[in-house]
């Protein structure tokens, strides 16, 4: 639901510049691409050098705008011992717009739907250019252990969350590690 | 056998003759024919086998032959006689003939030839019919004899060449073979051709007056033959070619052995070169040698040193055979590829390059010498050298080069570049294994540092010489750091002398000085009046030296005082420079005095510090000792082993199982162990166990540099899964943007990755894929 909201709210914001100035757009865009690349590169370096455990991400193939990431479930949560693959795709106007982040591995979680879409505020309306890949990954990692059951995408998971023991069983049953 | 042949002949005759004749033969006639035939056969046998002088058999034979002829069986008679003659000749005459050959008696050979007309007289007598028929028979006989002879001749020729060539590569076989050809086969052929009237072989060549160009060549003297006929000269060339080819095949098959003992086997190489000039079968050499290499050299069992030595020998040997280096390129390729895969290649190369000069007879100094000699030779002969100097040639040089140009041999692979890139420069070819001269220079620098730091005198003449040679090949600029290192040594010597003489004030280039100490004759340790005389310092400009291993420990107090005293004086002389001692480097000469003996050692400062502790207290627990020296226990255990192995200390278990007790061995207690050392002089080869190097090796440096990529690589593999090393290399090149940028070679990365595998941080699975654990 929030996803839809975000798109609704975003469309009017981005529309005016495209409509108003068609001529300078290409140059602006290339310059932007350059700076976006730079930003992504430095984010990558920061992430690689941070040495945070349990999260990692790296550009897929040679495209700097599509990354593959992994998140492992934190200790002492029902997700402990699991590892999830994510895909991150960055828009051309990153970091002014949030990247699209999806679970590639199916994840039984109140805020993740069957297609892997994630409902997380900082990926939608609360996005700020101060966030980066590392903070996104850390946020998602913590989201695993602390779901927002109030506005679930997966109602079954939300209702089961109360019973952690049963939930753990469900996670184990549905967990399919990617080779 | 006779019966069978008779029957066969009978059958043959009956089928050939028309039936009319058969009809005309009555039983008596048939019987007569059979009898005569048998008689004839016996007579033939008798005439030919029982020797030449006995002509009585001959007359019998002739009459029987006549009888047979009456029945129209001339052809049969002829054939049988010829066949039998051939057989006999092969059996008796030929073997005798070649026996004579073997003893090099051409007189005998000629006699044998002369014998032939006599033998021939038998059929002549028998067949005294028309002249034409006789000629026919004669020519038939001649061709038969020559074909038999030729066959045997080849056999003998081959075995003789093999015998002459033998397995001795230290002398040239070609000359003796040529001599033999002159002495024996040619004489024989001369006789044979004379006998055949010089007609058989060449009568059929068109007599248009066109002579073979070979014949026009001035041929060498023909002993005993006045004017060589054309046929004979042709024969000579034919034989020589045959000899060349045989010898060439023989040598190519053994080329590997020949190259293994190359400098000694150069006559064989020279032979091969001449043979190949004649035959032009270079490609045979390449194919056969490469397969020999694959099979015998490029295996895990061959040490890198051997590989390199053989590579150098190959270059030298093949350079003789083929100065353009075309075949060398083809042959060298597999060796180079293989060497690239070896980790210690660079080290071995540098050792090879420098060992001959160091006067260090530890390694196989032989090739070291020859490599240096190679450098020397190049130094003298080449005006414009340098591995990458090819484009700096001035106009004059270019003109000279243009004049010297020769086309590449046909076998040259046009894809492999022209002659210019292919010049046979041993050093260049060796450097090409490593890839860049920088790596080689770096490795040399580390080795040089090691060598210099372990010098107890300031004698660096040999190193200076090597450096000068290297400078010629690699350019001044790349050897600059090494030069500074050598200069440090020279300066140290001067400074040291100055300080000791307390001569003050001397200005010097503004380099940062660090100081390495070296103790001379430290038996004075423990006395109060330790004088500066026993101390020689090596002052190094640390910026230009390879990273130096640091290991801190407490050195004996008097020595420490000595050091600070020295440093203070240095500071006085060279204000504002100060000395920073690297206390773990250098060598200590010390003498241990026991009640009944004294022992001399040259050891590292650390070893000296350990043994000094036992001066006042003969027994230490490892804990206390490590505290006293300021060394971690495990390091102490490793180092103290030196003294234990020398029988100076003994080790026993203490109360606590982790706490060992080391005791000074009393002089009389263990003479058997130390007896050999009594009064002797022991030298510890510094750096012989790998924890003991004073300079960080190139690999260590590389691993340190690569450590920054560790997180990156592990993270990356974590998110993308396993990857081959070349992919990792590409990713690093593309995405590693921090300063300094990723600039390592795929080989370096590979070695780093295998390091990570060894540390269990990565695992290597099938297909060369590295995976996070």
Residue range A122-151: mean pLDDT, rounded? 86
CA distance B764 to B750: 11
Residue range B328-356: mean pLDDT, rounded? 77
CA distance B147 to B139: 12
Mean pLDDT of chain A, nearest integer: 77
Q: Does A171 touch chain B (CB under 8 A)?
A: no
Q: Kindly list the residues from chain A whose CB atom is less than 8 angstroms away from the CB atom of residue B736.
A: 45
Place of tokens 């006549």: B66
Residue closest to B233 by CA, chosen among B165, B153, B248, B241: B241
Yes or no, beta carbons of B719 and A57 under 8 Å apart: yes
Q: Which of B715, B734, B737 sits opposite A56 (nearest CB)?
A: B715
User: Minimal Cα distance from B738: which residue of A?
Assistant: A45
Place of tokens 């079968």: B281
How many residues are given for chain A?
Answer: 179
Q: Kindly list the residues from chain B whose CB atom is less than 8 angstroms away from the CB atom of residue A44.
A: 735, 737
Residue range B620-625: mean pLDDT, rounded? 83
Interface confidence (ipTM) of the complex = 0.72
Take residue B227 and report the two structure tokens written for it. Answer: 């004017």
Yes or no, beta carbons of A68 and B719 under 8 Å apart: yes
Residue closest to B273 by CA, chosen among B318, B223, B313, B243: B318
What is the number of CB-based contacts under 8 A between chain A and chain B? 41
Residue-level pLDDT at B511: 31
Q: Does B528 touch chain A (CB under 8 A)?
A: no
Q: How many CB atoms lie within 10 A of CB B162?
A: 14
Please name every residue paired with B527 in a beta bridge, in sequence order, or none if there are none: none
CA distance to partner chain A, nearest, from residue B722 (Å): 10
Q: Kindly list the residues from chain B whose CB atom is less than 8 angstroms away from the CB atom of residue A64.
A: 735
Residue-wise pLDDT for B688-737, tens only, equals 444 455 666 677 777 777 777 888 888 888 878 888 888 888 888 888 87
Residue-wise pLDDT for B66-106, tens only, equals 666 666 666 666 677 667 666 666 665 555 555 544 444 44
User: Minimal Cα distance from B730: which residue of A?
Assistant: A62
Q: Kindly list the residues from chain A whose CB atom is less than 8 angstroms away from the CB atom of residue B720.
A: 58, 60, 68
Residue closest to B311 by CA, chosen among B291, B327, B331: B331
pLDDT category, A115, cuts 50, 70, 90? confident
- Go through B41-63 and write b for each residue having 16 or more CB atoms within 10 A of its CB, e for each that does not: bebbebbbeeeeeeeebbebbbe
Yes or no, beta carbons of A42 and B737 under 8 Å apart: yes
Q: Kindly list the residues from chain A whose CB atom is less than 8 angstroms away from the CB atom of residue B737.
A: 41-42, 44-45
Q: Does A156 touch chain B (CB under 8 A)?
A: no
More confident residue, B36 or A124: A124
Mean pLDDT of chain B, nearest integer: 68
More confident residue, A28 or B329: B329
CA distance to partner chain B, nearest, from residue A22 (Å): 33
CA distance to partner chain A, nearest, from residue B547 (Å): 25
User: Minimal Cα distance from B723: which residue of A?
Assistant: A61
Residue-wise pLDDT for B348-405, tens only, equals 887 777 765 333 333 343 444 556 666 666 555 544 444 344 444 466 666 676 666 6
Residue closest to B479 by CA, chosen among B492, B491, B463, B493: B463
Q: Does B630 touch chain A (CB under 8 A)?
A: no
Place of tokens 């730091």: B453
Residue-wise pLDDT for B639-687, tens only, equals 888 888 877 888 887 666 667 788 887 654 444 444 444 444 444 444 4
CA distance B157 to B188: 12
Q: Does B242 touch chain A (CB under 8 A)?
A: no
CA distance to partner chain A, nearest, from residue B710 (Å): 9
- Lowest mean pLDDT segment, chosen from B257-266, B328-337, B379-388: B379-388
Residue-level pLDDT at B582: 78
pLDDT category, A64, cuts 50, 70, 90? confident
Q: How far is CA A61 from the centre of its chain?
A: 19
- Please state the pTM of the whole predicted model: 0.53
Instruction: Tell me: pLDDT of B114 over 80.
Output: no
Yes or no, beta carbons of B738 and A49 under 8 Å apart: yes
Residue-level pLDDT at B402: 67
Q: Kindly list the residues from chain B whose CB atom is less than 8 angstroms away from the CB atom of residue A56.
A: 715-716, 718-719
Residue-wise pLDDT for B143-195, tens only, equals 766 677 677 777 777 777 777 776 677 777 777 777 777 777 777 777 777 76
Q: Does B741 touch chain A (CB under 8 A)?
A: no
Instruction: Tell me: pLDDT of B292 over 80.
Output: yes
CA distance to partner chain B, nearest, from residue A18 (Å): 32
Q: Which domains, from first to last, does chain A contain?
A: 33-175 (3.10.110.10)
Q: Does A141 touch chain B (CB under 8 A)?
A: no
pLDDT above 70: percentage of residues in chain A: 80
Residue range A57-66: mean pLDDT, rounded? 84
User: Minimal Cα distance from A57: which residue of B?
Assistant: B719
Residue-wise pLDDT for B482-540, tens only, equals 888 888 888 888 888 877 776 333 333 323 333 344 333 333 333 334 466 677 778 87
More confident residue, B288 or B90: B288
User: Minimal Cα distance from A66: which residue of B?
Assistant: B720
Residue-level pLDDT at B145: 67
Helix (H, G, I), strand (E, B) or coil at B64: helix
The answer, yes or no, to whether the previous bond of B760 is cis (omega within 30 of 0) is no
Q: Does A63 touch chain B (CB under 8 A)?
A: no
Q: Does B653 touch chain A (CB under 8 A)?
A: no
Residue-wise pLDDT for B453-474, tens only, equals 777 777 888 788 888 878 877 7
Catalytic residue positions of A, numbered? 119
Residue-wise pLDDT for B536-559, tens only, equals 778 877 778 887 777 778 877 778
More confident residue, B2 or B287: B287
CA distance to partner chain B, nearest, from residue A70 (Å): 5
Q: Kindly list the residues from chain A whose CB atom is less than 8 angstroms away from the CB atom of residue B731.
A: 58
Residue-wise pLDDT for B559-586, tens only, equals 888 788 888 888 887 777 777 887 777 7
Residue-level pLDDT at B420: 44
Residue to mutate among B707, B720, B734, B741, with most A CBs inside 10 A, is: B720
Angle at B744 between CA B742 and CA B749, to 5 degrees: 110
Q: Which residues, including other chains, have CB under 8 Å from residue B51's CB and lie 6 or more apart?
A: none
Yes or no, beta carbons of A58 and B719 under 8 Å apart: yes
Q: Kindly list the residues from chain A whose CB atom is less than 8 angstroms away from the CB atom of residue B715.
A: 47-48, 51, 56, 58
Residue-level pLDDT at B641: 82
**Are A58 and A44 within 8 A, CB to CB?**
yes
Chain A, window 39-58: residues with a beta carbon less than 8 angstroms from a chain B beta carbon: 41-42, 44-45, 47-49, 51, 56-58
């Amino acid at each position: 639901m929030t996803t839809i909201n975000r798109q609704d709210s975003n469309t009017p914001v981005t529309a005016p510049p495209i409509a108003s100035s068609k001529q300078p757009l290409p140059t602006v865009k290339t310059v932007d691409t350059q700076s976006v690349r730079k930003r992504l590169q430095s984010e990558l370096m920061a992430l690689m050098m941070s040495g945070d455990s349990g999260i990692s991400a790296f550009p897929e193939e040679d495209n700097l705008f599509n990354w593959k990431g992994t998140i492992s479930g934190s200790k002492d949560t029902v997700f402990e011992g699991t590892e999830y693959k994510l895909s991150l795709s960055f828009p051309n106007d990153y970091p002014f717009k949030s990247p699209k982040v999806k679970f590639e591995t199916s994840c039984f979680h109140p805020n993740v739907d069957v297609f892997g879409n994630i409902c997380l505020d900082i990926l939608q309306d609360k996005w700020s250019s101060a966030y980066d890949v590392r903070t996104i990954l850390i946020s998602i990692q913590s989201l695993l252990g602390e779901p927002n059951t109030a506005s679930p995408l997966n109602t079954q998971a939300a209702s089961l969350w109360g019973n952690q023991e049963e939930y753990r069983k469900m996670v184990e049953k549905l967990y399919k590690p990617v080779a | 056998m006779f019966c069978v042949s008779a029957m066969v002949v009978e059958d043959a005759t009956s089928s050939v003759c028309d039936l009319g004749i058969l009809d005309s033969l009555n039983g008596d006639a048939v019987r007569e024919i059979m009898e005569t035939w048998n008689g004839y056969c016996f007579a033939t046998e008798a005439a030919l086998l029982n020797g030449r002088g006995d002509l009585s058999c001959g007359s019998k034979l002739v009459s029987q032959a006549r009888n047979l002829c009456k029945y129209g069986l001339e052809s049969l008679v002829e054939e049988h006689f010829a066949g039998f003659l051939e057989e006999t000749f092969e059996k008796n005459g030929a073997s005798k003939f070649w026996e004579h050959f073997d003893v090099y008696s051409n007189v005998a050979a000629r006699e044998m030839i002369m014998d032939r007309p006599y033998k021939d007289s038998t059929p002549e007598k028998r067949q005294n019919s028309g002249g034409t028929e006789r000629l026919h028979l004669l020519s038939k006989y001649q061709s038969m004899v020559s074909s038999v002879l030729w066959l045997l001749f080849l056999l003998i020729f081959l075995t003789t060449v093999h015998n002459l060539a033998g397995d001795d590569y230290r002398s040239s076989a070609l000359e003796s073979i040529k001599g033999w050809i002159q002495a024996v086969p040619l004489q024989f052929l001369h006789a044979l051709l004379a006998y055949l009237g010089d007609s058989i072989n060449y009568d059929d060549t068109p007599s248009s007056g066109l002579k073979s160009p070979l014949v026009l060549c001035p041929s060498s003297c023909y002993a005993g033959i006045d004017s060589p006929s054309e046929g004979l000269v042709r024969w000579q060339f034919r034989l020589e070619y045959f000899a060349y080819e045989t010898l060439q095949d023989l040598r190519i098959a053994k080329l590997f052995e020949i190259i293994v003992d190359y400098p000694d086997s150069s006559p064989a190489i020279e032979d091969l070169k001449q043979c190949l000039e004649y035959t032009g079968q270079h490609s045979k050499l390449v194919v056969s040698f490469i397969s020999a290499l694959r099979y015998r050299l490029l295996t895990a069992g061959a040490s890198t040193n051997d590989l390199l030595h053989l590579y150098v020998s190959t270059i030298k040997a093949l350079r003789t055979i083929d100065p353009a280096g075309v075949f060398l390129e083809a042959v060298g390729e597999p060796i180079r590829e293989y060497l690239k895969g070896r980790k210690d290649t660079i080290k071995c190369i540098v050792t090879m390059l420098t060992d001959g000069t160091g006067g260090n007879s530890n390694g196989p100094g032989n090739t070291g010498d020859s490599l240096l000699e190679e450098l020397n030779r190049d130094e003298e002969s080449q005006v414009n050298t340098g591995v990458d100097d090819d484009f700096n040639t001035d106009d004059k040089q270019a003109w000279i080069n243009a004049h010297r140009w020769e086309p590449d041999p046909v076998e040259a692979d046009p894809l492999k570049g022209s002659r210019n890139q292919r010049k046979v420069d041993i050093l260049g070819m060796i450097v090409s294994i490593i890839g860049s001269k920088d790596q080689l220079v770096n490795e040399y620098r580390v080795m040089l540092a090691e060598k210099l730091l372990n010098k107890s005198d300031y004698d660096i003449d040999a190193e200076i010489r090597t450096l000068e040679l290297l400078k010629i090949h690699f350019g001044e600029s790349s050897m600059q750091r090494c030069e500074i290192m050598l200069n440090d040594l020279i300066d140290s010597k001067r400074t040291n002398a100055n300080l000791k003489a307390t001569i003050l004030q001397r200005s010097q280039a503004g380099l940062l000085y660090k100081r390495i100490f070296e103790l001379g004759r430290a038996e004075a340790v423990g006395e109060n009046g330790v004088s500066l005389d026993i101390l020689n310092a090596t002052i190094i400009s640390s910026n230009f030296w390879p990273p130096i291993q640091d290991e801190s420990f407490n050195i004996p107090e008097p020595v420490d005082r000595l050091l600070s005293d020295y440093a203070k004086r240095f500071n006085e002389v060279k204000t504002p420079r100060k000395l920073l001692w690297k206390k773990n480097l250098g060598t200590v000469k010390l003498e241990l005095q026991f009640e009944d003996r004294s022992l001399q050692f040259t050891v590292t400062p650390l070893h000296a510090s350990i043994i000094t502790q036992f001066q006042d207290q003969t027994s230490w627990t490892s804990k206390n000792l490590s505290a006293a020296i300021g060394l971690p226990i495990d390091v102490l255990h490793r180092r103290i082993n030196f003294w234990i192995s020398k029988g100076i200390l003994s080790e026993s278990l203490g109360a606590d199982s982790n706490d060992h007790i080391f005791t000074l061995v009393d002089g009389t207690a263990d003479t058997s162990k130390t007896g050999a050392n009594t009064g002797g002089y022991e030298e510890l080869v510094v750096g012989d166990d790998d924890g003991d190097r004073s300079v960080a090796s190139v690999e260590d440096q590389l691993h340190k540099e690569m450590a920054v990529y560790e997180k990156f690589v592990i993270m990356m593999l974590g998110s993308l899964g396993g990857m081959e090393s070349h992919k990792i290399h590409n990713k690093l090149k593309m995405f590693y943007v921090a300063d300094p940028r990723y600039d390592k070679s795929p080989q370096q990365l590979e070695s780093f990755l295998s390091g990570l595998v060894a540390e269990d941080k990565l695992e290597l699975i099938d297909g060369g894929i590295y995976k996070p654990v």
